[in-house]
Structure 1
Amino acid sequence: MKKFWKIGLSAFLAVGLLAACNTKEATNDKPSSAEQQETSKVDQATFPMTITDAVGKDITLEAPPEKIVSLIPSNTEILFGLGLNDEIVGVTDNDDYPAEATKKDKVGGVDYNIEQIIALTPDIVFAHASGMSYSKGAIEQLEAAGVKVFVVADAKNFNETYTTIEQLGRATGKLEEAKKIVANMKDKIEEVETKLKGVEPKKVFLESSDEPQIYTAGKGTFMNEMLEMIHAENVAADVNDWYPIEAEQIIAKNPDVIVVAYNYVPNILTKIPQRPGFETVTAVKNKAIVQVDESMTSRQGPRLADGFEELAKAVYPEAFK
């Protein structure tokens, strides 16, 4: 599970989508044959239906589920966005948005309470591909008990996030609501891109955990895609995926902006400039160290477009005056 996504789950976990050259490419590319096939499946919103999850498992639903358990915050945000407050009966310990999610029965964090999930008698459980390294055993136990578990794909870009939202909308009988969410997200992306036309590209370093092990987003991450979409140069894109980086390497890369994508360290914006050698970094000299909401910029759900806007404002505040 990637460092970027893990920090979205909780601050105590180890910190952890495909790069596009611009927003138009990231959101309006002509879909591949596989994507076209998935879209055609999404458009078939009638019950009974058979849906195929991220691990290739077919699940048949006779009717829209009346009781749902979500095993990751991104799924929870999508389900609430679809208007399924009454249907959601269980979420994880890490679910903190929307506020209604905090009032639902908790089924564990990384270690799920299998007995409790079964006792909730869900019609379907929505798991996530990013957590398969630790949830595979739990999923097998649930399925052995007759519980239907749908593993949601780990979206790597906005197009895949849109597909996920529509897929969950279809599986829950809320396809029209899902399409509205996607349309609103696309409108927000376009609005931000318009404001960024003509900006002078900046060199950006993003960190997702504090010392002693600083992690950053490399090539092939959703964060790298978003940085490219706002015409920023990700100084850490010379390495794939999320990876640990030494302070000396950050200093050598000399970013114009440092983006902090976590909130578990108090006063982190004042701590970073105090790191040895950082007084020479342009971002420190210009006081261009900014913090973004870690969940809004990482969870593959409806708020991701707002997170994209927050990132753009953090890097190019002058474009939003």
Structure 2
Amino acid sequence: MKKFWKLGLSAFLAIGLLAACGEGAKNEKPASSEQQETTQVDKATFPMTITDAVGKEITLESPPEKIVSLIPSNTEILFALGLNNEIVGVTDNDDYPAEATEKQKVGGMEYNIEQIITLKPDIVFAHDSSMTFSAGAIEQLESAGLKVFVVTNAKDFNEIYTTIEQLGRATGKLPEAEKIIKDMKTKVEEVLAKIKDVKPKKVFVETSDEPHIFTAGKDTFMNEMLNMIHAENVAADTADWYEISSEQIIAKNPDVIVVTYHYVPDILTKLPQRAGFDTINAVKNKAIVQVDENTTSRQGPRLAEGLEELAKAIYPEAFK
């Protein structure tokens, strides 16, 4: 059996770049409070069979006592559910909460298959965003008798709420999941109320420095977040995350430039010094801001805080 499964740099980057949002959760109204109570009991009863993002059915006889997470967003959800003791393995990229850094590491750009098997998890939570690169690793884990649940690559807040509910149900933490979702919805509503009367601004989101500048196009989580807060993504004429030239950025003339990376020291000072950038409104008005790439991208409980951070960065006047 191969000890390592190569995921590749693209999967690693995807971990830090994932993002998306919609404006509310699906409202399924039961006929009565009694029916609602019955539904919740059914959801949390073991044994249960759950279906993952790739259509695979997994039966759990009882709440898992040992869990491995293969992406930071899953890890953040699991810790928020109160599963510190149950989590036995996480990836090298998991840095939140602090307790995650103390867990056994099972790989970053590559998974240590033998190590994961040795941990004997009751369930492994993978992610649909990395299936292109991790399908072989998952097959190896399943061949070894492990249960692997592939979490949906959420495209909006509704799907994030569903993911949190699914993980809460599968781990016997449904009440905790419902509390997380409720708190997230409250925060989102507060943010949207703050910016409901703002004048929309043109925004450019930069996710890496030159010479290879990347940005978020349409069909990305970040684009959906910008739509939610009434900001125009100037890069939305192209799909997905893509490389863009300085000339294109200058031509698009954004009102605000949002930088999501922190690996370049003094980037907020260096960026305005690029050739021709002095003609951009965002540079003229000193509207270049930096946000936390994790809270504004990871599909977990902190994303509502990320939405607020993004809104404050673009519309500071609305939060005075």
Structures share a fold, TM > 0.5?
A: yes
Runs of 4+ in structure 1 deviating by more than 4 angstroms, as ranges, are 3-6, 15-20, 28-31, 40-43
Q: CA RMSD in A?
A: 2.0
Corresponding residue of 2:24 = 27
Q: Cα 1:195–1:161, aligned 2, differ >3 Å: closer, same or farther?
A: same
* In 2: Cα distance, 1:43 partner to 1:214 partner: 49
Q: Cα 1:292–1:217, aligned 2, differ >3 Å: closer, same or farther?
A: same
Unaligned runs of 5+ in 2: 1-6, 29-38
8 Å Cα contact 1:207-1:260 kept in structure 2? yes
Q: Cα 1:42–1:104, aligned 2, differ >3 Å: closer, same or farther?
A: farther
Q: Cα 1:225–1:124, aligned 2, differ >3 Å: closer, same or farther?
A: same
* In 2: Cα distance, 1:92 partner to 1:42 partner: 33
Q: Can you list the C-alpha shifts for 1:172-227, whole angstroms capped at 9, x where unaligned? A: 00011001101100000000111112111111000111111111111111111111
* In 2: Cα distance, 1:111 partner to 1:300 partner: 21
* In 2: Cα distance, 1:5 partner to 1:43 partner: 36
Indicate the SS of the match to 1:200: coil
Aligned residues: 303
| One-letter amino acid matched to 2:287 | A
Instruction: Tell me whether 40-49 or 97-106 shows the greater mean CA deviation.
Output: 40-49
* In 1: Cα distance, 2:184 partner to 2:11 partner: 20
Percent pairwise identity: 73
Corresponding residue of 1:255 = 254
* In 2: Cα distance, 1:207 partner to 1:78 partner: 26
Corresponding residue of 1:34 = none
Q: Cα 1:18–1:100, aligned 2, differ >3 Å: closer, same or farther?
A: closer
8 Å Cα contact 1:91-1:106 kept in structure 2? yes
> How many Å apart are 1:9 and its aligned residue?
3.1
Indicate the SS of the match to 2:44: coil
| One-letter amino acid matched to 1:278 | F
Q: Report the TM-score, using the length of structure 2 for normalisation.
A: 0.90
Q: Can you list the C-alpha shifts for 1:17-51, whole angstroms capped at 9, x where unaligned? A: 6775xxxxx214567xxxxxxxx799611100010
1:123 aligns with 2:122: yes
* In 2: Cα distance, 1:166 partner to 1:196 partner: 28
**Residues 1-321 of structure 1: matches in 2 within 5 Å?**
6-7=12-13, 9=15, 26-28=23-25, 44-321=43-320
Corresponding residue of 1:36 = none
Indicate the SS of the match to 1:27: coil
8 Å Cα contact 1:42-1:167 kept in structure 2? no
Q: Report the TM-score, using the length of structure 1 for normalisation.
A: 0.90
* In 1: Cα distance, 2:262 partner to 2:12 partner: 13
